[in-house]
Amino acid sequence: MSDESKADVRQYVRNAYEQLGLPRLIIIIFLLSLFAVAVIMRMDLAILVKDSITRIGMNGILVLAMLPTLACGVGLNFGLPVGVIAGLVGAVTSMNWGLKGFAGFAAAMAIAIPLAVIAGYLYAMLLERVQGQEMMVGTYVGFSLVSGMCMFWLLAPYRNPAMIFALGGKGLRTTITLDRTFGKVLNDFLGFSILDVYIPTGLLLFMGVFYVAIALFFKSKAGLAMRTVGSNPMYARSSGINVQGMRTLGVILSTVLAAIGILVYSQSYGFVQLYTAPLTAAFPAVASVLIGGASLRKATIGHALLGTVLFHTLLTIALPVTQTVLQGADISEIARMIMSNGMIIYALTRAERR
Amino acid sequence: MGNGNVLELKGITKSFFGTTVLKDVNLSMNPGEIHALVGENGAGKSTLMNILFGMQVIFDTGGFDGQIVVGGQAVTIDSPRKAMELGIGMVHQEFMLIPGFTVSENIKLNREPTVRNVASRLFGPKLETLNEPLMQSDSKAALGKLAVSIDEMALVGTMPVGHMQFVEIAREIDKKNVRLLVFDEPTAVLTESEASLLLAAMKRLSSEGIAILFITHRLDEVMEVADNITILRDGEIVSRMPRSEAKLDRIAQLMVGRKIERPVLPPRKSEPSEKDVVLKVDNLKVDMPGERVRGLNLTVRRGEILGIGGLAGHGKVGIANGVIGMYPASGRVAKDGVQIPVNDPKRALLSGMAFVSEDRRGVGLLLDESIEMNIILTAMQVQGKFLKPGVLPNLRLEDRAAVREHALEVIRDLDIRCTGPAQLVRRLSGGNQQKVCLGRAFTMEPEVLWVSEPTRGIDVGAKQLVLDLLVKFNREHGMTIVMTSSELGELRKICDRIAIVYRGQIAGVLPPDASDVDFGLMMAGKSATLEEVS
């Protein structure tokens, strides 16, 4: 090998490293070592891979929901539960009507999206009044809305016996199965197995469509305007961009993606979880996008995708592997907490102040 | 002047990164003397004050040459605290007061008289009780010296601006050893009646033996109170005179005066005329902090380069910002007879105007985006250029090829030194960043271009390039240019007419070859011609 091509290779490696960044390199190495342990312990790799892929597909759109708010300068959308609840209302309403399969899923989306637009608009109005503290306020908006909605779940006039508490005959159950409605409709669509690994084609396609759509959006006039508002509102104003309008649009888009995201998540999981379940919905999504390399200043589709893959593969693999290694000691939940919350702290403290 | 000098500055010389901003400045002051220091923006007044108060910025940039003598002894002032100990006080242009504290708390801040109590005996002097009656009587006495009636128990936040200024002064004179007070543009934020009260207070202080260094560009105030006048220009003392020998127009001339070589500019096909007005501004009021515009009228002729000059704080920068809609404004702006709404940047830009902001890094650029994105974004958002065809106008995609082609063209035409159109703007030098800002505006192909402080903070060579570019676009494309600048010299180089702004209004419009006296007087609010008429 000549000196020149050696230098080229070195340059290429250095560029690749800079692109990736140290935290991601560490996580990838950790991930690979977990796989190595799994092989050594003779665990069923096919199941691990299958679970990882499914979890990536389940969570991809929820993570994607972080991008619009990051782009328009509102920051990480800790108020993700706003959209999640819109999605859940869509899901239970569709179930109440007894719609099955794709029809049920489509109906849930058709109800959830307008609700998310309205909720997102109101949420954006609120955030506009607390500029500079959107993330803090968003967190508590999420918390209070989830708690407030507990009353709704209990009192709402849903009558489908499959959904309400068996005793008393009033109020929705905390966990409702989707077996007889739209559970796994996406996962099973065009699904196939390869080397014992089941590929949920429909789920991945659905996620892919949204990633491509959002990527294109950020290359469009409106998307560029949104990014401009995020990176310098004064420049945006001097370019005739409606700054408040773009921030509002970013929050609405994020809320709508959250609503769609939770529907995708639920159908894959097979259950709808109500009451306090959405309380922490934002945190895995926030951690994912940050692990992917996004910061308050810059966030791309690539960050969301890489973050989803890394974070959720890690969670899927870490759980059974640690359990096998430590023989039954269940530290996986704790490890998950440390990882996701630690990542949030790391990324937020590192973020440059505007 | 004998040994009784309060302060003597000997041969002060200071340069920043090779640019000399102060050259061999000497100054001495007697007790009770009011000494006025006048000069244009950038004459070196604030650098001199930074040296006198031992500000960190001076030492960070390599210190200074020369000597400071206080009360007959050579001293080293290496911190504002040291200056305070030596009895030198400063009345700031921007108030350093805590709004939620009372007047007396502000006056005594960090110098509170205290009495011992149980806790302080146990845990140390930090826990001593404030001696509030003493604080109040001291404050009252200090305010009394100024002959103003301000309630020492009032909250500072609820007081008019003029009163805050007096609280600042009271705080300085309450310091027991104060010998010299520096007033930095104290009347800039005051109404006229407040200003005259302040001048009276200054006279009272000087009669008590406190020397006052009065920094200002209001010449009528200088004539009213100063004993001696020193004129600073480009870092050098150009003249010093007692007031008895001073004349307003002479000071004005000395302040501004420098030989302007007006280069021969390329000719136009037809010269701009009063009959062909492109833009008319009526009763414009702009609420821009520090640069308020208060009911201004302006007429711009098609094809001209109109200069807007004036001293800092008088609102010249506010004009362009108000017309484009960056700050809340009211009034009428009409282009070619068609009214353009204010407070709506999009409509202003669509009407064929473009804007290069004085705040290059804050407003003019997306520092973490590429050169090409910075250049095209405004034209894309406003005019829909550089977009691929599509059904929904807002969802049309960026036309990468057209963007790249245009960016390369701008980089070549404006001679932007960079590694390529994808380079981040943050990594460019100030001059090249400014060219990107100009490129952004030129991409709009405007009929009227508003340029604010185009040469601020860029090096000398780049300054000339920027001015040349403006002339080139004016001559070759017939672009009307309204250029706002603090540097009168550059306005006189390229402008056809120069409007001088004073207190938020146009004081007058002068030809670029008008005399230094006219410019100086007009900037100081004294129009020689106006006075003759009235």
**Cβ-defined contact of A238 to B357 (cutoff 8 Å):** yes
- State the CATH class of domain B277-533: alpha beta
**Chain A contact residues (CB < 8 Å to B):** 216-217, 219-222, 224-225, 228, 231-232, 234-235, 237-242, 297-298
Least confidently predicted of A331-335, B88-92, B95-99? A331-335
Report pLDDT digits (tens) over A271-316: 999 888 888 888 889 988 988 888 887 889 999 999 999 888 888 8
The nearest alpha carbon in chain B to A298 belongs to B368
CB contact under 8 A, A298 and B368: yes
Contact A235 B381 (CB under 8 A): no
Nearest CA in chain B to A217: B395
What pLDDT, on a 0 to 100 scale, did the predictor assign at position B113? 85
- Percent of chain B exceeding pLDDT 70 equals 95
Confidence of residue A352 (pLDDT cuts 50, 70, 90): very low
Cα dihedral value A244, A249, A254, A256, nearest 10: 140
d(CA A114, CA A258): 13
Compare CB distances from B363 to A221, A224, A238 and report the shortest one's residue. A238
Q: Dig out the tokens for A16 from the structure.
A: 């690749």
* pLDDT score of B228 more than 60: yes
A220 neighbourhood in chain B, CB within 8 Å: 394-398
Can you give the pLDDT at residue B326?
A: 92
Question: Distance between CA atoms of A80 and A82, rounded to whole angstroms?
Answer: 5
Closest Cα to residue A88, out of A108, A70, A58, A62? A108
Kindly determine whether residue B366 and residue A298, on different chains, have CB atoms separated by under 8 Å: no
* B444 contacts B349 by C-beta, under 8 angstroms: yes
B contacts of A216 (beta carbons < 8 Å): 397
A228/B368 touch (CB, cutoff 8 Å), yes or no: no
pLDDT at B446: 93
* pLDDT tens digits for range A79-102: 999 999 999 999 999 988 888 889
pLDDT (0 to 100) of residue B224? 86
Average pLDDT, chain A: 87
In this prediction, residue A1 carries a pLDDT of: 54
Average pLDDT score over residue span B352-370: 90
Give dist(CA A221, CA B385) in Å, integer. 10
Is A221 in Cβ contact with B394 (below 8 Å)? yes
Considering only CB atoms, B381 lies closest to which of A221, A297, A298, namely A221
Q: What is the pLDDT of residue A167?
A: 73
C-alpha angle B84-B87-B89 in degrees, rounded to nearest 5: 65
At residue A342, does pLDDT exceed 50? yes
Name which of B377, B387, B438 to mutate to probe chain A: the one with the most chain A Cβ atoms within 10 A of its Cβ: B377
Mean pLDDT of chain B: 85
Closest CA to B308 of B451, B428, B183: B451
B397 and A CB contact within 8 Å: yes
pLDDT digits (tens, 9 = 90+) for B36-88: 998 876 678 878 888 888 888 888 888 888 888 888 888 888 888 888 888 88
- Nearest-Cα distance to chain A for B297, in Å, is 23
- B282: helix, strand or coil: strand
Positions of E strands within B71-199: 73-75, 88-91, 114-115, 129-130, 180-184
Band of residue A33 on the pLDDT scale cut at 50, 70, 90: confident
Contacts of A330-336 spanning 24+ positions with Cβ under 8 A: none
Residue A37 has pLDDT above 60, yes or no: yes
Would the CB atoms of B365 and A232 count as touching at under 8 Å?
yes
Q: Is the model's pLDDT at B3 over the cut of 60? A: no
A221·B355 Cβ contact <8 A? no
Please give the pLDDT value at position A85: 95
Q: Edge to edge, what strands does the sheet with B505-510 contain?
A: B353-356, B448-452, B480-484, B305-310, B497-502, B505-510
Q: Which of B351, B358, B394, B444 to mutate to test the interface with A (most CBs of A within 10 A)?
A: B394
Tell me the average pLDDT across B225-241. Answer: 87
- Residue A209 to residues A137, A182, A202, A212, B172, Cα–Cα distance (Å): 31, 20, 10, 5, 68
pLDDT in tens, B431-448: 889 999 999 999 999 999
**Nearest chain A Cα to B386, which residue?**
A221
B346 with A242: Cβ contact below 8 A? yes
Q: How far is B86 from chain A (nearest CA, A)?
A: 39
What is the value of ipTM here, to two decimals? 0.81
Q: How far is CA B186 from the centre of its chain?
A: 14
Residue whose C-alpha is closest to residue B88's, from B63, B69, B65, B111: B69
Given a cut of 80, whether residue A209 has pLDDT beyond it is: yes
pLDDT class of A10 with cuts at 50, 70, 90:
confident
Q: Is the pLDDT of residue A221 over 60?
A: yes
User: What is the per-residue pLDDT for B2?
Assistant: 44
Does A70 score more than 90 pLDDT? Answer: yes
Question: Mean pLDDT over residues A158-184, rounded?
Answer: 82
Question: Confidence class of residue B519 from pLDDT cuts 50, 70 and 90?
Answer: confident
Residues of B in Cβ contact (< 8 Å) with A217: 395
- pTM score > 0.90 for this model? no
Q: Average pLDDT in the B331-339 region?
A: 91
Task: Kindly list the domain boundaries of chain A, sorted by start residue.
Answer: 27-350
* Closest CB to B394 among A220, A231, A238: A220
Confidence of residue B125 (pLDDT cuts 50, 70, 90): confident
B382 shares contact with chain A (CB less than 8 Å): yes
Q: Which is higher by pLDDT, B290 or A137?
A: A137
Q: A219 to chain B, minimum CA–CA distance in Å?
A: 6
What whole-number percentage of chain B has pLDDT above 90?
A: 27
DSSP summary character for residue B361: I
Q: Which of B317, B220, B304 is nearest to B498 (CA)?
A: B304
Nearest to B294 by CA among B497, B506, B94, B482: B506
Contact between residue A344 and residue A287 where contact means Cβ atoms under 8 Å apart: yes
The structure tokens listed for B222 are 């200088």
Q: Is B438 on the interface with A (CB under 8 A)?
A: no
Write the pLDDT tens digit of every residue in A307-338.
999 888 888 887 788 777 777 666 667 777 77
| pLDDT surpasses 80 at B258 | no
Contact list in A for residue B326 (CB cut-off 8 A) is 234, 237-238
| CATH topology (fold) of A27-350 | ABC transporter involved in vitamin B12 uptake, BtuC (1.10.3470)
* Confidence band, pLDDT 50/70/90 cuts, at residue B530: very low
Matching residue, tokens 């242009």: B93
| pLDDT at residue number B70 | 87
Q: Residue B339: which pLDDT band, with cuts at 50, 70 and 90?
A: very high
Positions of CATH 3.40.50.300 in chain B: 1-87+178-246, 277-533
- Residue B505: pLDDT above 70? yes
B129 forms beta bridges with B115
Pairwise CB contact (< 8 Å): B345 & A225: no
Q: Give residue B534's pLDDT.
A: 34
Q: Is the pLDDT of residue B33 over 50?
A: yes
**What CATH architecture is B1-87+178-246?**
3-Layer(aba) Sandwich (3.40)
Mean pLDDT of A220-227: 93
Q: Is B128 helix (H, G, I), strand (E, B) or coil?
A: coil
Whether B397 sits inside 8 A of A219 (CB atoms) is yes
pLDDT over 90 percentage in chain A: 45
- 3-state helix, strand, coil split of chain B in percent (to 5) is 40, 25, 35
User: What was the pLDDT predicted at B153?
Assistant: 87
Provide CB contacts within 8 A for A134, sequence distance 6+.
A69, A74, A75, A127
**Residue A329: enclosing H or E segment and its boundaries?**
none
| Chain A nearest CA to B299, separation (Å) | 23
Quote the CA–CA distance of B257 and B325 in Å, as a whole number. 35
Token pair, residue A301, equals: 């589709």
